[in-house]
Amino acid sequence: MTKPPICDYEGSDYQKAFWEEGGREYEDAVEAIALRRLLPRSGKRLLELGAGAGRNTPRYAGFDEITLLDYSRTQLEQARARLGNSPQYRYVAADVYNLPFAPAVFDTATMIRTIHHLKEGESALKQVSQVLAQQAVFILEFANKRNLKSILRYITGKQKWNPYTLEQVEFVKLNFNFHPRQIRSWLHQNGFFINRQLSVSHFRVGFLKRKLPLGFLTGLDSALQWTGALWQFTPSVFVRSTLTQGAPLHDFAFQCPQCGNHPLKPVLADIICPQCGKRFPYKDGIYDFRLK
Ligand SMILES: C[S@@+](CC[C@H](N)C(=O)[O-])C[C@H]1O[C@@H](n2cnc3c(N)ncnc32)[C@H](O)[C@@H]1O
């Protein structure tokens, strides 16, 4: 089986360039509101998929344990430098297509701005369903191909691809926008029951962001997010779903991404799979489960 390609953030200054200096205060604020609306107040073990430099991680403070997973080790190093080495956090470099966790070890997961980079989104969602416990909450954010701007561009002939068709669009290499119906169908097929959808980032337009006060735009977006229950025409959509299948929450353990052996004890040292002998390094507080 060929491995899906990975959008590599190794060495990227994404957090600084895109968020801290990129004029994205509005996007960050409205995403924080959506997360607050959808996330349980507290829980035992949350998995943050594609955590990057940990922009959202402080928003999960009500959870006992937070596992930050990202393919890029340097993103996790930045997250660790920002968040610290508290026992509340576990840093794991791994591929969302091949998660290194035993079944049913998380009661919550989030995937924000990450499916955006996945050519095979459904296969990643299947992996997520396997590491979640029954009744676990999963919050997925996706970039919406059927947004108002792409509809207008399509009907005025400025854009070739059709925003209404189900297939994902790759507008830049390894950057994908999805149709809301496609995402819903993948979630259903993998045992998720959708509880709530929010339309987010209604005013992601340079001109509006420059001319109108941040508080005003954020407040207006917040007031409109509920319309995601009726329609989704914003560039970003948040979906909260619950896993209807699987086992009750198990104690935390890793699983060998090479041979599937589990449970592997989460010792604070290199982890060696007793079945296939593969060694997974643990260095500077970060586990490395990437298969290269
Ligand atoms: C756009 S960033 C989003 C980071 C963070 N969620 C946020 O919203 O600030 C996408 C992240 O997904 C990670 N990523 C992309 N493909 C991945 C894969 N196959 N497995 C694990 N992480 C991946 C990238 O390394 C990057 O840090």
- DSSP letter for each residue of 90-113: EEEE-BTTB--B-TT-EEEEEE-S
Q: What percent of the chain has pLDDT over 90?
A: 98
Q: In Å, how far are 27, 49, 135, 170 from 115, measured between CA atoms?
A: 17, 9, 22, 12
Which band of pLDDT confidence, cut at 50, 70 and 90, is reported for residue 292? confident
Dist CA 248 CA 192 (whole Å): 15
- Beta strands 106-111 and 63-70 are unpaired
Sheet containing 236-243: order of strands: 192-200, 236-243, 132-143, 106-111, 43-49, 63-70, 89-93, 286-288, 282-283
- Token pair in block for residue 256: 């060998």
Please give the Cα distance from 13 to 21 (Å, whole number): 11
Any idea what the Cα angle at residue 214 is, between residues 207 and 63, rounded to 5°? Answer: 125
**Ligand 1: residues within 6 Å at CB?**
6-7, 9, 50-52, 55-56, 70-72, 75, 95-97, 112-114, 117
187 C-alpha vs ligand 1 centroid, how far in Å? Answer: 19
User: Are residues 138 and 80 in contact, defined by beta-carbon separation less than 8 angstroms?
Assistant: no
**What's this model's pTM, rounded to 2 decimal places?**
0.98
Q: For position 1, what pLDDT does the model report? A: 62
How far apart, in whole angstroms, are the C-alpha atoms of residue 39 and residue 240?
8
What is the pLDDT, as a whole number, of residue 85? 87
Mean pLDDT of 277-288: 98
Average pLDDT of the segment spanning 24-48 = 98
Confidence of residue 173 (pLDDT cuts 50, 70, 90): very high
pLDDT (mean) for 93-120: 98
Mean pLDDT within 185-211: 97
Name 63's Cβ contacts closer than 8 Å, sequence gap at least 6: 42, 43, 44, 45, 46, 88, 108
Measured in degrees and rounded to the nearest 5, phi and psi for residue 54 equal 80, 30
pLDDT at 150 over 80: yes
C-alpha closest to that of 125 among 187, 38, 67, 168: 187
Looking at the CA of residue 75, tell me the nearest atom of ligand 1. Answer: 27
Q: Quick one: pLDDT band at residue 2, thresholds 50, 70, 90?
A: confident
21-288 CATH fold:
Rossmann fold (3.40.50)
Looking from the CA of residue 50, the nearest atom of ligand 1 is 12
Q: What is the mean pLDDT of residues 20-44?
A: 97
User: In this structure, which residue's CA is closest to atom 4 in ligand 1?
Assistant: 52
Find tokens 């499916």 and name the residue: 115
**pLDDT for res 95:** 98
